[in-house]
Each structure stands twice: as structure tokens, then as C-alpha cells.
Structure 1
Amino acid sequence: MLICIPLVRHRWIGFVAAGAMLLCLTQCTTPAPDQTTDTAKPRILISTDIGGTDPDDFQSMIHFLMYADRFQTEGLLSSPYGPGRKEAILAMIDLYAQDLPRLQAHADGFPAPDSLRSVTKQGAVDAAPYPGWSVPTEGSEWIVRCARKTSDQPLWVLVWGGLEDLAQAVHDAPDIKEHIRVYWIGGPNKKWSVNSYAYLAEHHPDLWFIEANATYRGWFMDEGAPTELSNDGYYDHAIRARGHLGRNFKQHYGGSVKMGDTPSLAYVMHGDPHDPTGESWGGSFTPITHSARRIFDRPSTERDTVPVYATLEWRFPGPDLPVPPDSACFTLEVNQQTWPGYALGGGQYAVRYSSKQEETSTYRISSNLPGFPTQTGAYVSQNPWPGAVHAQDYPLGNQWYSDRTEPEAFMAKQQGARTVAQWRTEFLEDWATRWQWLADAPEE
């Protein structure tokens, strides 16, 4: 009897100058870029893994709700890793509803809670198989519906987790590509949705796509921040005892600021979002012409050095068995986490992985299939991304952007992070003003 392995995913988050452009660094005196001059509010759709295995999406959802007057919110999709479902989004909207009178006392345009509930949809709950897409979900179909609306504005698809729903939507309706702009928080999310990423990079390189693998980390890298603006100090300074949303914030990381997905929202709040190379609260990016990929038809070793965030793929022969298509029939174990591998047919097997940071790691490939060849190996991943051009890379179009490579844009080993961190005082003080709204009684 042929048995395929059930998989349980464990997730933890653990240099060329661009022309004459000068990056503003921590001591920059240039004022923060103002909100986009477009009279219409940006159209946004958020895909989040809230309620899954990383609590920071709750913090980002609180931030979004407190600025919801600034956007036309067309979708809130639950695309979790782990137990999260759309009910986690709905629970946050319930808290927002209780705080709404105080928010409305200070600004017009906050959406009604029922309007947000009506656009909350369930997305994919499983990782895509090897092809990178599977079957439509309520979430993927909602992306298509929103993208096809008649509008003078693009739909900003802000992806806080995996790419499964986006990849499914683009696969099912490639015509939507000209109507969407994607800002994806990659890095750790890339390894969990590596098959969907590979599908998009290989088959839809003409997407307008910001791939933030490390830039987003500048939101919570608080080197040199005063106590009141530090990750651990900001709660007492700005949030404590302020509204139902403020009390909920304390439940996630003990109130310490992480919010690694928030830069995607901040990107369309301040600056010109149509110019990724410019300055914004969500970072500054550079065009990339290729996405690093390495294919191994043998066990890799520590002599195999790859760019960080590269798509790594191991292909090898095994028993020619009638394995059901798209079933996970072996595992790749790296850093005490496991990823599914697939039979390609004809006795050929493959598995993909992407490292979230510079590392030297070992791996083990194994299966309960009879005659399957267990193997071990290693690899080394290094900055910068995407590295020098390699024959196996995915070639990209002229609208794919990623983390800046200039040394001065790095914070420690985090590429591009300083392009977000440089605005830390501005965006946290701006948010503190809104937290104060929740401390005030609503006007009668």
C-alpha cells in the first residue's frame, strides 16, 4: 500500500550605487514624504496569515484599522500558516467597531465595520504543491473580482504571508496583472510559499511586484531609538489603556512592537507608491532583473554557496511508483523544520526551499516510500540578494523590485532595512497621535 507523508509545518520568524540617488539615513534631515497627492484614496487588498503561527499580524491589523480612513479597503483575506482563519480578522473588526466612535471624533472616512466584514474572505489554508497553484479559493476569486473592477487606480495587493492566493488568482485570470500592484513581505514567508513564488517568477515575471525580503525589518530594528520609541518602550509611551485595540495589542509579544508586515501598508501611506525607487515609510527599492535560483541534481555541500533568499531546488531519481499528482510524498528537513517534496513522474522527485537569512545549514531528505533514497547535504547562503546573474536564475521583467544593495542601506545583515528604519520617529509619533484619539472621549 502506498502511503504519502502527512506534513505539519512549523514556522518561526526568527553593491552597486543606483545612479546619483542618495539614500537618507538615520540622521537625514529631509522631511518625511507626504501622503500621495492623488485625490482618491488608494485601493488596497490585504492578504494576511493572522491567527497562524506568528502573532505580529495582529499588531499590523490593529495599525491598519486605526488608519482605515486613508484607504479604499476592498479585501481582507485570511491566508494562514497554521490554525488561523478569517474569524481572526473578524474578531479584530469587532474591536475596531467598539473604538470607532473615538476614531470618528477626529477624522472622517473610517469604514463601517459591516463594510469591512463584507470584504473579509477565506483564502488558502494549505501550501501550494510543486506547480505553485492548486484550486481557486474564496480569497483568490475575490482578488480577481476586485482587480477587474473598473477604476482609474490600480489595486494594491499587500501580502503579509504566503503567495498562494495571489498565485492562484494570476493563474486563473492572467488579465488582472495589468490592474494590480503587489507589495510582498518575503523573507521567511518565501520559504513557506516557495512553490507559489517560483510559479510567479517563472511564468509571470511581468508582474508589478515589490519583493521585500529584508527591508521590512527596519520597522522593528530599533538601534539607537529613545526609550519611548523602542520596541519595548512604545507600549507604555503610546498604547497603554487606549481603547479596545490597545488592550488587545498587549496580548501579542507582550506589547513589544514587531509588526513586520506594516511596511507594506506604510508604503502606500507616505511617498509616491508608483515609484518604488523613491522614499517612503515602507522603504525604497531597486529594480532587479533576475531572481536567484539554484538547481541541484546531487546532494549539495558547504562548497555550494547561494544568494540568501534564493530558490533552492533538489531534483533526483527515486522509485517509479504511482504516486498521486501533487501529493507530498517525502520531506526536506532544514533547521528542525520540514517542507514537502513531490513526485514529478517517471521516477523523478523534487523539493524547493529558500533560506530566510545568511546561514550554513544541513538538510535531510527522507520518505516512507519503498526504495526511496534518503540523502543528506548542506549549503551556505550569503548576502546580497539576488547576487550575480546565474544561468539557472528566473529572468524578470522591468517592474520587479527588491531590497536595495548599497552597503549604507543595510542594518547589520538586513539588506535595505535602513530605508524603513530612517523614518521610525516619524511613523511612530504619527501613530502615537492616533492612539491618543482612543484616550479621548468621543464628541457628543
Structure 2
Amino acid sequence: MLRFWAMMGGAALLVAPIAAAASETPMAAPAQKQRLIVLSDIEADPDDTQSFTRLLLYASEIDLEGLIATTSVHMKTAIHPDSIRRILHAYGKVQPNLALHETGYPGADRLLALVRDGQPGYGMAMVGAGKDTAGSRLIIAALERTDPRPLWVTAWGGVNTLAQALYTIREMRSPAEAKRLITKLRVYTISDQDDSGAWIRRTFPDVFFIVSPGGYGAGTWTGINTLIDGADNTTISNTWLREHIQQGHGPLGAVYPDVAYGMEGDTPSWLSLIPNGLSVPDHPDWGGWGGRYEYYTPPIATVDPSGFSNVPIEPETRPIWTNAIDSYMPWQQREYGRAQTPSDRQIKDFRAGIWRWRDDFQNDFAARMMWTTEPFAHANHPPAVKLSTPERITVKSGQRFVLSAIDSTDPDGDSLSFQWFHYAEVGHWRTVIPNGIAANIHTVDFTAPKVTEPREAHFIVRVSDKGSPPLTRYARVIVTITP
């Protein structure tokens, strides 16, 4: 297939080849998946059922290793594992159709075998000698499994089942073995919904822990369902959910409940585990669909100490991965001239690390729900982003450099749109580095700023197809700028 060079403003631009005809072969699941155990206070709020519904659509791309029913501050004396099983039975009815679109979807029976009971009561009162449960034992077994990958545990409610697992490891394993197991652990809790999260952070200071402590008003995760002032919030509306998720989308869509308090508040805990080319789970500061987080000890005054959590707030005793401020200007579609341009409105907020991607992951959700009922040829599938330049490059101060994603393709043969930008909050250079030509073409150029010591800057390309709904994937180029 021929390509040719065109010259524009001194930048060498590759002209994209004609897309190949769409295939009806299922896409391959990613070779490297993140391991995940979910702790859920399902039935305390319909949003856990919502989050499970979405999670199962990505069961081909995340290795689920445990689905544990827990309590929380909102449901202190009951657990509901049968509610998890109900959703899995609905998933089982659509799993064969999902497998037409992507390989790797596990059978419902395998997932049903992962459901466990967690601690049957509230908080640290249910942690201690002789209080192991099927859920806490499953966590220990997963940590002890011979697998070099880290183990993610996300808590959608209380986290005392994980606290019990860590208590048992501390008491029953050697210090060296306990340290080895804890090193494998990655924790994300949706705020603190019992008193055991603070205990874990205080007692096990080496645990990798992402949390927005304190009241829910300080939670990065709220970016999934809070309105962006002055922006189009259509994709989180009840009308959108009804049309794209709940109604006319088979058994799995039918179990997705109406919003009671907030849509899918728990989903950000695992969104960054999806291999979309943007997220790097062990680097929460790099940003992704689940938000962006920085490593520091948050002052208690910044954690919404009077907010709605009903859990005593303790001063943090060590650094954690927590809220980070992003500043971005939403892109807008234009009817004439340049197809996409940034708006003139800048948003700066700790929730903006989720807001900037929200339409992308909502459209992805809608497309995967279509996979539950439609054949491959009647549904949309995400583009494959391919850089024509290395993922890491080094340039000198003042040097012009070119980044390209011209070799990106789409499995459905759709036309592609491109957006390049410097993610200024990530890396060591916080002043936006503008591109030299239009940012919405496949190949762009930047000029490195003057530096007195090496600085790292991250550049993102956002590639979207023109299918229905439009789907987006990404690539990241890390540029080291030297004097």
C-alpha cells in the first residue's frame, strides 16, 4: 500500500492509507490484563448494580478474581452476594454474543465461582482473630498465587474484608512474606465507607492506596456523575441511559437500574484498568478514564471534613494517591473550517481528570452494550492507535520535533479523527507546549521549550472513529527535554 510525503509549513506529513475493509472476526483480547477483586456493598445503593453491569462488559480485558459482598456505613449489618449472582446470570445470557466481538469473555459459571461473602458486620469491629471470611481468604489466596502481576482490590463500600486479610497476613505469615504479599497489592477505595481504610493506611504504610478521604464532596470519583457547568452533560442523563443502556439492549441492559443518588459512583475505581492506550495503572499521576491522582499527605481541611460520609475522619499519617487538579478546555465540533477546536472556557477542578474523558468512556459503554445483542457487522469497535514515532524520545531545548499516529486503523473501516495535546499536569513541564500546526491531524509538530535541566513532558493523541457511537483510543509519547 502506497504512502507519500506532503510538505506543509516545513512539517513532513504522512498521508494515511485507505482503510482496509472491515472484518467480522472477533477482536483479540489484550495479552496483558490487570487482576481485579471487587468489594461491593451492593444493595446499599443501585449504583453498585450499575457498576457491575458495566464491569462485566470489560470482563474480556480485566482478569476478575473475586466479587465480594460487603457492608458499608450505609448498610452496616447485611451483605447481598445473591444480588451479584443475579447480574452474572444476566451476563451469562449475553456472553455468547459478546464473544462475537472480542475474545476472552469468561463464562458466567467461572464468574459465579468468584462470588464470596465478606465481613458480615461493620468496620474494624469485624476485624481480628478468628474473623476470617470466605472473602478475606480469597484475597489472601489471590495474593499468594504465583503471578507476577499486581493485584487490584477496589472497594465500592466498606473495606474491612481487605483489612481482615491484611490482619491475617500480618499475624500468620513471616514479616518477609507479609512484605512480599503487600507489595503486590493495589487498593482503590471510593472514599472511606467504614473505619478500616484509615486503619489500613496507618498500619500498613507501604500499601499502594488511592483514595479521596473525607466527605464525598471531595471525591475525585464524583466526576463520573456531577454536572459540568456550561458543558453538554447529555451522556450522563437519564434519557441517555434509557436509550443506550437500559431499554432494548438485552438482558444485561435490562438489569441496569435507574439512578437513585448518583450514576455509577463506584466505576472510577476500575476504569483506569481498561487498556485503552491512555491509562498506566501503576502511574495514577499520569491520568486516565478513572481520574488523575498525586502522591502526597492531604491536609485534613481539604478532604471535606463535614461532608456526607458519616465515617470519622482521621488525619492522614503518610502520603497516599489522592486528588489532583487538572485544567482543560473541552473540545468542540465545528460545522465549518477546522473540524475540532478547543473551547474558550477553561475548567480547573479535581474532578476534571475524569470530566475530560467522560464522553469517551460513556460512548464506549454504549457500544459494548450493543455488543450484547448485535452481530459484529452491526456494531462499532474501537480504533487501534499506532504511533509512527517512538513512545519515548529525547530532544534538545528549542528543537522542533514531529509526532505521528498516521498508521492508526479501525476494525470497522471507519474514518478517524485525531487530537494531539500536551498533558501539562503530567511530567515536569507545567506550561502548555502548543503545537505548531492544527492539532486535529494525524501528524503534528511541537517545539521544545528552553530548559536548564532535563524535563519530561507527556503528549497524548486521542483517536476517535466516526462510527455510532464514536469510539476513542489513545497513545502517549513521553518527551525528555534536555538543555
Q: TM-score, normalised by structure 1?
A: 0.63
The SS at the match of 1:44 is: strand
Deviations 1:4-48 (A, max 9, x none): xxxxxxxxxxxxxxxxxxxxxxxxxxxxxxxxx983211111111
| 1:76-126 CA-partner distances (Å, limit 9, x unpaired) | 111134344111111110000011122111111001111101111110121
* Residue equivalent to 1:215: 220
Is the alpha carbon distance of 1:247 and 1:178 closer, same or farther for their aligned partners in structure 2, counting shifts above 3 Å?
A: same
In the alignment, which residue of structure 1 is the partner of 2:270? 265
In 1, Cα distance between equivalents of 2:206 and 2:241: 42
Secondary structure at the aligned position of 1:439 is classed as coil
Structure-2 residue corresponding to 1:417: 351
SS at match of 2:294: strand
- Please say if residues 227 and 233 of structure 1, whose CA atoms lie closer than 8 Å, have aligned partners that are also in contact: no
Unaligned runs of 5+ in 1: 1-36, 293-305, 313-333, 340-351, 355-391
Q: Does 1:403 align with 2:285?
A: no
Match of 2:164 in 1: 168
2-structure distance, mates of 1:124, 1:130? 10
1:352-431 pair list within 5 angstroms: 353-354=312-313, 393-396=315-318, 400-405=320-325, 416-431=350-365
Is 2:61 the partner of 1:66?
no
Q: How far 1:238 moved relative to its partner?
A: 1.2
SS at match of 1:69: coil
The answer to whether the 8 A contact 2:325-2:352 is kept is no
Q: Is the Cα–Cα contact under 8 Å of residues 220 and 231 in structure 1 kept in the other structure? A: no
Give the whole-Å Cα distance in 1 for the aligned partners of 2:48 and 2:348.
20
Question: Residues of 2 paired with 1:237 and 1:225: CA distance?
Answer: 21
Give the Cα–Cα distance (whole angstroms) in 2 for the partners of residues 103 and 406 of structure 1: 35
Give the 3 Å change call, closer, same or farther, for CA 278–38 of structure 1 in structure 2.
farther
Q: Which moved more, 1:54-63 or 1:198-207?
A: 198-207
How far, CA to CA, are the matches of 1:108 and 1:406 in structure 2?
35
1:234 corresponds, among 234, 240, 246, to 240
1:435 counterpart residue number:
369
Matched-pair contact (CA < 8 Å) for 1:243–1:439:
yes
Query: For residues 198-213 of structure 1, what are the structure 2 equivalents within 5 Å?
Result: 198-213=198-213
String of CA shifts for 1:120-164, please: whole Å, max 9, x gaps.
Answer: 111012112469656211111111110111112001111111110
| 8 Å contact kept, 1:102–1:442 | no
Moved more, 197-206 or 260-269: 197-206
CA-to-aligned-CA distance 1:33-76 (integer Å, 9 cap, x gap):
xxxx983211111111112x211000000000111100111111
Distance in structure 2 (CA, Å) of the matches to 1:132 and 1:199: 11
Unaligned residue ranges in structure 2 (runs of 5+): 1-28, 171-177, 214-218, 330-346, 378-483
Q: 1:54 aligns with which of 45, 50, 73?
A: 45
Selected match of 1:285 from 288, 293, 301:
293
Q: Is the 8 A contact 1:183 1:210 kept in 2?
A: yes
Does the 8 A contact of 1:76 with 1:120 survive in 2? yes
Which stretch shifts more, 99-108 or 59-68?
99-108
> Which amino acid is the alignment partner of residue 59 of structure 1?
Q
Alpha-carbon shift at residue 237 of structure 1 (Å): 3.5
> Which deviations, in whole Å up to 9, do the C-alpha atoms of 1:269-288 show, x marking residues without a partner?
14100101002000100112
CA–CA distance in structure 1, aligned partners of residues 302 and 312 of structure 2: 13
- In structure 1, the partner of 2:339 is none
What CA distance in whole angstroms lies between the structure 2 residues aligned with 1:85 and 1:242?
Answer: 26
Residue among 16, 35, 44 paired with 2:36: 44
Structure 1 segment 175-214 matched on structure 2, within 5 A: 175=178, 176-186=181-191, 190=192, 192-194=193-195, 196-213=196-213, 214=219
- Name the count of aligned residue pairs: 310
Code of the aligned partner of 1:253:
V
* Alpha-carbon offset, residue 198 of structure 1: 2.8
**Amino acid in structure 2 at the alignment position of 1:431:** F
C-alpha distance in structure 2 between counterparts of 1:262 and 1:426, whole Å: 14
User: Contact 1:47 / 1:76 at 8 angstroms: preserved in 2?
Assistant: yes
* Structure 1 equivalent of residue 109 of structure 2: 114
Instruction: Deviation per CA, 1:341-389: give whole Å up to 9, x if none.
Output: xxxxxxxxxxx723xxxxxxxxxxxxxxxxxxxxxxxxxxxxxxxxxxx
8 Å CA contact 2:190, 2:212 repeated in 1: yes
Q: Secondary structure of 2:106's match?
A: coil
Aligned in 2, Cα 1:288/1:89: closer, same or farther, shift over 3 Å? same
- 8 Å CA contact retained: 1:219, 1:424: yes
Q: Does 1:157 align with 2:116?
A: no
2:286 is aligned with what amino acid? G
- Return the structure number with greater relative CO, CA threshold 8 A, min gap 6: 1
Query: What amino acid is aligned across from residue 98 of structure 1 in structure 2?
Result: K
- The yes-or-no answer on 1:247 pairing with 2:254 is yes
Give the alignment's Cα RMSD to 1 decimal: 3.2
Q: Which ranges of 4 or more aligned residues in structure 1 deviate by more than 2 Å?
A: 80-84, 128-134, 222-228, 251-254, 289-292, 306-310, 392-395, 405-409
User: What CA distance in whole angstroms lies between the structure 2 residues aligned with 1:157 and 1:210?
Assistant: 10
Shift of 1:245: 1.2
Q: CA deviation at 1:210?
A: 0.6
Write the distance in 2 (CA, Å) between the matches of 1:258 and 1:245.
17
Distance 1:43 1:131, change over 3 A: closer
Measure how far apart 1:233 and its partner are.
Answer: 2.5
Q: Is the 8 A contact 1:155 1:180 kept in 2?
A: yes
SS, match of residue 43 in structure 1 = strand
Supply the distance in 2 between the matched residues of 1:207 and 1:227 (Cα, whole angstroms). 36
Aligned match for 1:91, one of 76, 80, 86: 86
Distance 2:242 2:233 in 1: 10
Instruction: Report the residue type matching 1:210 in the other structure.
Output: I
3-state secondary structure, aligned to 1:268: coil
If the length of structure 2 is used for normalisation, what is the TM-score? 0.58
> Shift of the alpha carbon at 1:307?
4.4
Superposed CA offset, 1:416-435 (max 9, x none): 21111110111011111112
**Taking every aligned residue pair, what percent have the same amino acid on both sides?**
26
- Structure 1 residue 290 displacement after superposition: 5.7
Find the aligned partners of 2:155 and 2:297 in 1 and give their Cα distance.
21
Deviation at 1:179, TM superposition (A): 1.2
Match for residue 299 of structure 1? none
